[in-house]
Amino acid sequence: MGPLGLPLFLMIAGIVLMWQPRTKRWKKRISAYFAGDEQRVKQRANTFFLLGFCFLLAGFAYLYRAVTG
């Protein structure tokens, strides 16, 4: 897989996690799960966004580490 495999995987996973709450299917399923409670739906969407952002930052950190040394 090489030294760039893990950082690229983490960055792609982060982008997917950040994008997922914007899809219609995700909104429909989470809204049904929380019985239409918009506050809980927004809270879950923000959690996914932050988790994805953390994956993205970890990917950049690993990429920096792989490139510099």
DSSP string, 30-42: HHHHTTT-HHHHH
Rounded Cα gap, residues 54 and 50, in angstroms: 6
pTM, 2 dp: 0.85
* DSSP class of 3: T
* DSSP class of 51: H
Hey, what are 61's tokens? Answer: 């950190």
Rounded Cα gap, residues 17 and 4, in angstroms: 20
Rounded Cα gap, residues 3 and 20, in angstroms: 27
Instruction: Give the tens place of pLDDT for each residue, 1-46.
Output: 678 899 999 999 999 999 999 999 999 999 999 998 999 999 999 9
